[in-house]
Amino acid sequence: MHLLILGVTRFVGRYIVEAAQAAGHEVTLFNRGRSNPRLFSDVETLIGDRDGDLAALEGRQWDAVVDTSGYVPRVVRDSAELLADAAPHYTFISTISVYDDSLSPDAGEDAALQTLEDETVEEIAGGTYGALKVLCENVVQELYPDGALVIRPGLIVGPHDPTDRFTYWPVRVAEGGQVLAPGVASKPVQFIDVRDLGEWIVRMVEARATGIYNATGPAGGLPLGEVLAACRKVTHSTAQFEWVEEEFLLEHDVQPFTEMPLWIPGQQGLALGTINIQRALIAGLKLRKVEETVEDTLEWAQTLPDDHEWRAGMDRKREAELLQAWYARQSE
């Protein structure tokens, strides 16, 4: 197959390309040529901009398109309209953030979705990101009525993750000491290794699969305590976990998911930690053990420069201060 991949190759795109090459497919990239331009020097790269400069795509043919960088429906429409006669299959990488705040545990792909009162809004922010992705999905399904594949990943983790939203935990646990852990150890979380996601997407494209699929895991969620225990096991750490109540963390303005990765408080966290993935499992999604993801993520993180600016995770000084305050409250 000859695949066209729209978007940068820093993370998800990188592993889709690698999986496609490993399967023997020919790949063409379309992006602005700014992120990792030398990473795939053996791959044809068309330079352009999805917002107004699609000329490099004109007059070409592909077997399938994988869109890793669609966030605004107007921009997605421009590329999908141009490519509708150039490729019969279009895969759109969406997100589980499309679901409405009323989401319940074990929700499937038919759960209620986010909406925008003003659908002309193009600012991508916390309150618009999911709803804009919904509109992007609609555009792709409209223009590819018989050839649209929509993938809704959860938190994507693994080597080369630019967000640090999982990497924080293997690195922090490896350091040892008293580690602040959010809520209770039994609360379920879900995520997907980027390599599992990339390989599965390529297999789905090969099969010309269509429809909507949640892509995260494992089924039913994995207790956060088990994730941290896996970090401790892999790193041979002596870290001790202090589980701090969610109410205390919220009182002290700890930011869920960013300052405290993998933590989303309350019922929303329970729902997002138990997304139903049965449809994807039936379609062949395979998930590696968390220990492998931890080990490989930590190995990659150890290659980061000493002045790496972390985009997620808690500052060690703040962690120590919060633990001190927590212990003081417990002794009252």
Which ranges of 152-307 does DSSP label H, i.e. alpha helix? 168-175, 194-206, 224-235, 246-251, 266-272, 278-282, 290-301
Do the beta carbons of residue 263 and residue 184 sit within 8 Å? Answer: no
- What pLDDT, on the 0 to 100 scale, is given for residue 242? 98
- What pLDDT, on the 0 to 100 scale, is given for residue 39? 82
Angle, helices 129-143 vs 73-83, to 10°: value is 20
The model's pLDDT over 55-75, given as tens digits with 9 standing for 90+, comes to 999 999 999 999 999 999 999
Residues in contact with 258: Cβ distance below 8 Å, sequence separation at least 6, in sequence order: 165, 311, 312
CA 251 to chain centre: 28
The model's pLDDT over 216-238, given as tens digits with 9 standing for 90+, comes to 999 999 999 999 999 999 999 99
State the average pLDDT for the chain.
96
**What is the DSSP pairing of strand 192-193 with strand 240-244?**
unpaired
Please give the domain boundaries of the chain with CATH numbers for all domains: 2-153 (3.40.50.720), 168-189+220-269+289-330 (3.90.25.10)
pLDDT above 90 for 282: yes
- Model-wide pTM > 0.75: yes
The model's pLDDT over 15-60, given as tens digits with 9 standing for 90+, comes to 999 999 999 999 999 998 776 767 888 899 999 999 999 999 999 9
